Structure 1
Amino acid sequence: MTVPIASKAVPAPSFAHLARLTDDTGLFEHARHAIPRRQHGYCTDDVARGLVVTSREADPSDTVLRLAECYLAFLTHAQDGSGAFHNRLSHDRRWTDEPGLGDWWGRALWGLGTAAARSPAPWIRVEALTAFTVAASRRSTALRAMTFAGLGAAEVLRGDPDNTVAGALLSDAADAVGMPGDSPDWPWPQPRLTYANAALAEVVVAAGSLRGDERRLVAGLRMLTWLRDIQLTEGRLSVIAVGGWQPAAPRARHDQQPIEVAAFADACATAASVTGQPDWDTNVRQAVAWFLGENDGGTAMWDPTTGGGYDGLTPHGPNLNQGAESTLAFISTLQHARSPNRPAAMRGRVPVSV
């Protein structure tokens, strides 16, 4: 089944390559072309992202449900009693790091919160909420760790608006991001754009909507509007490259990473749900189109024979390796082409001007 967007036909999300990268322990981080590189092992970062996308499937196949169960088991094994997480597990099933509160902690909360709120399997929802509640008592000093954790808290609050643990975490995540400045040229709260930039705007939008704070909601939409505008070139999406960008510096166009596109699609889908404004749906379609070839390289960023996403857009074309992060970014973005995946409106749609 395909869904027409502009002049292209959008494929339904395929979990075939994700299944190829997954064994009975977890999700392999890297691949050479489409073949898993087992020597690099597994990481909580990617397993958590895997739990997000598998939990978004309202009517999962047996394969997708098995993947979700595998990823949830991995995360609960990675978690210690204080709510911190290991990140790296070698192929011989040995942790190579100590539990911590880095980005992987935030993404684990994002995955657990999504599973607790959206999984159609009751046993997954119960276990995910238990693990989420333990981890959500902690706070990280890393901005993006707090951002990802806040996105998980937002998922929980959509299903349970009275969850005080999730509410406090979401508010603290938005506080960590901060409010945009007054300069129209650089309203971003931080001095530099780095990675998963749209997620920062999304968590502020979510906090403003779910916590009933209109000032914060307007601020988050202003951030996202500015980020959208600087990332559009002649109607196509051109995301901030892996080296980042800051004021008065030249902006590189490569290497562009799929994670940026997926974060942008997530944020725009949330903005569309909150505001009801159709422009945000247009931006979601531009994110989908980036993978299908409407990008600075004019080339498809996925392999239709495997269903995997390519690892980056370089000056010479796509990096043909199909690792976990890029494949998950592709699946996540495609999920937004289907309206049933759209998050429920947060306290109703509200008219907002930015």
Structure 2
Amino acid sequence: MTPLGRIALIGNSLPRRCGIATFTTDLQRAIANSRPNLVASIVAMTDHGQAYVYPDSVALQIRDDSIESYRRAAALLNAGRFDVACLQHEFGIFGGEAGSHILELLSRLSMPVVTTLHTVLSEPTPAQRAIMDRIVDMSSKIVVMASKGRELLCSVYRVPGEKIEIIAHGIPDFPFVEPDAAKARLGFSGRSVILTFGLLSPSKGIEIMIDAMPSILKQCPEAVYVVLGATHPNLVRDQGEAYRESLMKRVRQLGVEDHVVFLDQFVDQATLLEFISMCDIYVTPYLNEAQMTSGTLAYSFGLGKAVVSTPYWHARELLEDGRGALVAFNDAPETGRTIAELLTDKPRRQAMREQAYAASRPMTWERTAERYMATFANGRQSHWLNAVARDPMAADASQIPVAPAMQTDHFLSMCDDTGLLQHAVHSVPDRLHGYCVDDNARALLLACALNEPGEQPLTDVLTGRFAAFVQHAWNPDTGRFRNFMGYDRTWLEEKGSEDSHGRTLWALGQCARRDASGARRRWAAALFTEALPIAKSFDSPRASAFTLLGLDAYCAAIPDDRRARDLRRVLADRLMLCLESVETPEWIWFEEGLAYDNARLPEALIVTGLATRNRGYIDAGLKSLRWLMTQQTSPMGHFRPVGTAGFGEQRRPPHAFDQQPVEATATIAACLTALRAEDNAQWKAEAINVFAWFLGSNDLSVALVDTETGSCRDGLHPDRANENRGGESVVCYLLGLAEIRQLARVSVNLTDPVALCAVGA
């Protein structure tokens, strides 16, 4: 897929006064700064009766009580061709019962939705549960900021674990500093400062902290409790400043008015960081355990402050293992005792600060933006897979999301002036194992595939290198192609396997037919003719199948070569004999066991039958391919290629692992060949379903490919993906991708530049 270019964040925005507005604004800035030329825009929710002067980062606003406003926003987002919409969800900021109006927007979006849940209720009302279920269903990914959120989503809402990402609340990247300088600037020199900041409301537990002050002052007479923050706008609208006044009255009754300071301000980030810098202890005495996220907690923790908190969900996770201190809910004596102990024990307080600061480094907004961008990319892949799952045979191409773009960066990094290297260590080419003709023949096949309309062809120089490798691999003394070459360009054998010879013939046949260079087409035809006769003696069914695929292309390019036509019939009959001698009602295959590149055998029979108008070849190929698909489809319906652990076993169901890209690529090609043979849209659906294996529709729900570089992992183990990304894997992915993109081009209106990248039509 093309790199992400346009992101829309739906939520509150500054200057609206609330935590969601601050979070959305900070996240937008971090995402916008994460990539050059990336556009990150906010769709701001405006509460009824209010008006805000929004910054330029706000592309449009929605009146929370206007259904039409939600619908209009969806239309504008679709027209703006945003790649991903990121919803910031909190009950209370959207109109309708339980915030149901947001569904009007989500249901109309054409792009994938990634939803950040700022609250996950353990006991939702029926209306809240219904809304949450719909939002989860319409989201490609769900983001929560604590493990408890994931736990509740899985247990209460039955959300699949692979759909959930945990991304910590972002924090400014601020240095670890001592508080004295900031205290001096703010007028608190010589005081032990306890701080709470945020919008004032009864759920924050400020009363508990005020009640704890007398016991704190007994041990720390110079202590001061600073309460920084305006009263919550909703509270002001309903009650005015009655709540703040009640807190101040409580302070006076306890006689601590010289030690409690209320600053009725909604401050900008720079001012806020200055206040956090000057405090010795930050306290969050919240009263509700079900507090899933606290931005104030995250910020103070991220600045390396000693934090005392009640054990609401977010605090319990963030402050565990000594990174902070937890006190019981609604317990002023314990709160006072814990704070006093920390204020009088500087070594302990300093150790807590250092531990918190070190633990918070992965939470900086820069790192948070990286996590979100990765989640957006995965969400876009999931959106593609979900669309395929809903209707893989859809007739309307405009309703199918775009296929990945053809990115060849990693492929090119695996090539040098000799050819395509075999292996990689992670994504770094590994020169130790040199080259092989198998991979360079596949690379020549890819070069031919990229000559199709709509693709960017490889350079003539690079295609020439693959051709030169194949030419150099030819050993006229043995009549065979060598296979393995060391990095020092020394051949490690006089001849390769039958399979590598057959695969090289296949590449030469395609080159003779589809190469952009007339001179190279003539070279390929001549070498194909010279290397073909030995194929008559092959024992390997795969070698015969590869050769038949090469003959299909060669005979189309050189139709008068009677010797080639005769050998094509001989090899096809040989495959037919293999099938007839092994087949039973339960085992419809050419061999006693399943191995690698299995689908190439039925594909070879089908293409040969189509070219020669031999219905027997076609029927045998279709029959064996249908049986193979039953062996390669999991109970959940996703593609499960034959695993290498089962190679060599006879008449046994295939092992699930290790799964390799070569099987997926072969199966895509075979299914699309079957589609040519019979007009059955199920073959199209099968091909798309197999391609989805690369993108994460597999046993581990793990993407094998990086669509931004075109790299592909070498396989799928029982517990993880193989992180090495070698030559065979990248070429197999790109060959499969080329087939899927070609399927799209012949299935849609070719005059529509947008539909050209649609898949599944």
TM-score normalised by L of structure 2: 0.43
Q: Kindly indicate whether residue 409 of structure 2 is the aligned counterpart of residue 16 of structure 1.
A: yes
2: CA distance between counterparts of 1:137 and 1:153?
12
Q: Check whether the contact 2:479–2:531 (CA below 8 A) recurs between aligned residues.
A: yes
Give the 5 Å matches for 1:241-260: 241-244=643-646, 249=652, 251-260=654-663
Q: Check whether the contact 1:48–1:75 (CA below 8 A) recurs between aligned residues.
A: yes
Q: Check whether the contact 1:103–1:148 (CA below 8 A) recurs between aligned residues.
A: yes
Whichever residue aligns with residue 509 of structure 2, its letter is: G
Q: Kindly indicate whether residue 549 of structure 2 is the aligned counterpart of residue 151 of structure 1.
A: yes
Whichever residue aligns with residue 427 of structure 2, its letter is: A
Q: Check whether the contact 2:576–2:620 (CA below 8 A) recurs between aligned residues.
A: no
1: CA distance between counterparts of 2:563 and 2:712?
35
Q: Kindly indicate whether residue 611 of structure 2 is the aligned counterpart of residue 210 of structure 1.
A: yes
Give the 5 Å matches for 1:84-103: 84-103=480-499
Q: Kindly indicate whether residue 633 of structure 2 is the aligned counterpart of residue 237 of structure 1.
A: no
2:24 aligns to what? Answer: none
Secondary structure of residue in 2 paired with 1:29: strand
| Matched positions, count | 343
2:460 aligns to what? Answer: 65
Secondary structure of residue in 2 paired with 1:126: helix
Q: Deviations over 1:63-86 (max 9, x none)?
A: 443322110111011112264111
Q: Deviations over 1:116-140 (max 9, x none)?
A: 1111221221111111111112222
Q: Kindly indicate whether residue 134 of structure 2 is the aligned counterpart of residue 134 of structure 1.
A: no
**Which region of structure 1 is more displaced relative to structure 2, 170-179 or 40-49?**
170-179
Q: Deviations over 1:195-253 (max 9, x none)?
A: 11100111111222212211121111101111112212232111111133656635421
Q: Check whether the contact 2:481–2:501 (CA below 8 A) recurs between aligned residues.
A: yes
Q: Check whether the contact 1:112–1:132 (CA below 8 A) recurs between aligned residues.
A: yes
1:194 aligns to what? Answer: 595
2: CA distance between counterparts of 1:174 and 1:125?
25
1: CA distance between counterparts of 2:421 and 2:440?
9
Whichever residue aligns with residue 65 of structure 1, its letter is: D
1:349 aligns to what? Answer: none
**Which region of structure 1 is more displaced relative to structure 2, 71-80 or 55-64?**
55-64
Q: Check whether the contact 2:662–2:732 (CA below 8 A) recurs between aligned residues.
A: yes
Alpha-carbon deviation of 1:340? 6.7
Q: Deviations over 1:62-117 (max 9, x none)?
A: 64433221101110111122641111111111111002452111111111111111
1:122 aligns to what? Answer: 518
1: CA distance between counterparts of 2:745 and 2:486?
35
Whichever residue aligns with residue 241 of structure 1, its letter is: G
Give the 5 Å matches for 1:166-315: 166-179=564-577, 180-181=579-580, 183-233=584-634, 234-244=636-646, 249=652, 251-315=654-718
**Which region of structure 1 is more displaced relative to structure 2, 45-54 or 167-176?**
167-176
1:352 aligns to what? Answer: none
Secondary structure of residue in 2 paired with 1:39: strand
1: CA distance between counterparts of 2:505 and 2:717?
31
Change (3 A) 1:161 1:272: farther
2:470 aligns to what? Answer: 75
**Which region of structure 1 is more displaced relative to structure 2, 263-272 or 238-247?**
238-247
2: CA distance between counterparts of 1:331 and 1:177?
28
Q: Check whether the contact 1:117–1:158 (CA below 8 A) recurs between aligned residues.
A: yes
Whichever residue aligns with residue 94 of structure 1, its letter is: T
Alpha-carbon deviation of 1:341? 9.2
Q: Check whether the contact 2:418–2:465 (CA below 8 A) recurs between aligned residues.
A: yes
Q: Deviations over 1:249-282 (max 9, x none)?
A: 3542111111111110111111112323221111
**Which region of structure 1 is more displaced relative to structure 2, 303-312 or 2-11?**
2-11
Alpha-carbon deviation of 1:342? 9.0
**Which region of structure 1 is more displaced relative to structure 2, 93-102 or 29-38?**
93-102
2: CA distance between counterparts of 1:336 and 1:173?
26
Q: Deviations over 1:123-162 (max 9, x none)?
A: 2211111111111122222222222111111122234444
1: CA distance between counterparts of 2:467 and 2:650?
41
1: CA distance between counterparts of 2:610 and 2:458?
35
1: CA distance between counterparts of 2:693 and 2:563?
37
Q: Deviations over 1:276-321 (max 9, x none)?
A: 3221111110121010111111110112343111101101121010
1: CA distance between counterparts of 2:571 and 2:408?
31
Secondary structure of residue in 2 paired with 1:338: helix
Change (3 A) 1:34 1:113: same
Change (3 A) 1:136 1:261: same
Change (3 A) 1:162 1:272: farther
Whichever residue aligns with residue 56 of structure 1, its letter is: A
Change (3 A) 1:62 1:276: closer
2: CA distance between counterparts of 1:341 and 1:133?
34
Change (3 A) 1:191 1:98: same
Q: Kindly indicate whether residue 436 of structure 2 is the aligned counterpart of residue 47 of structure 1.
A: no
Whichever residue aligns with residue 321 of structure 1, its letter is: N
Secondary structure of residue in 1 paired with 2:659: coil
Change (3 A) 1:73 1:342: farther
2: CA distance between counterparts of 1:132 and 1:114?
10
1:327 aligns to what? Answer: 730
Whichever residue aligns with residue 660 of structure 2, its letter is: Q
**Which region of structure 1 is more displaced relative to structure 2, 195-204 or 249-258?**
249-258
Whichever residue aligns with residue 298 of structure 1, its letter is: S
Whichever residue aligns with residue 44 of structure 1, its letter is: V
1:30 aligns to what? Answer: 423
Secondary structure of residue in 2 paired with 1:99: coil
2: CA distance between counterparts of 1:195 and 1:256?
10
2: CA distance between counterparts of 1:248 and 1:173?
24
**Which region of structure 1 is more displaced relative to structure 2, 227-236 or 258-267?**
227-236
Alpha-carbon deviation of 1:6? 5.2
Change (3 A) 1:162 1:277: farther
Secondary structure of residue in 2 paired with 1:284: helix
2: CA distance between counterparts of 1:118 and 1:289?
27
Whichever residue aligns with residue 283 of structure 1, its letter is: E
1: CA distance between counterparts of 2:558 and 2:514?
11
Whichever residue aligns with residue 239 of structure 1, its letter is: P
Whichever residue aligns with residue 68 of structure 1, its letter is: T
Larger Rg over CA atoms: 2
Q: Check whether the contact 2:594–2:654 (CA below 8 A) recurs between aligned residues.
A: no
2:740 aligns to what? Answer: 337
Q: Deviations over 1:153-186 (max 9, x none)?
A: 1122234444324323332332332353563311
Change (3 A) 1:341 1:66: farther
Secondary structure of residue in 2 paired with 1:197: coil
2: CA distance between counterparts of 1:83 and 1:169?
17
1: CA distance between counterparts of 2:509 and 2:744?
16
1:351 aligns to what? Answer: none
Q: Check whether the contact 1:196–1:259 (CA below 8 A) recurs between aligned residues.
A: yes
Q: Check whether the contact 2:714–2:724 (CA below 8 A) recurs between aligned residues.
A: yes
Change (3 A) 1:176 1:254: same
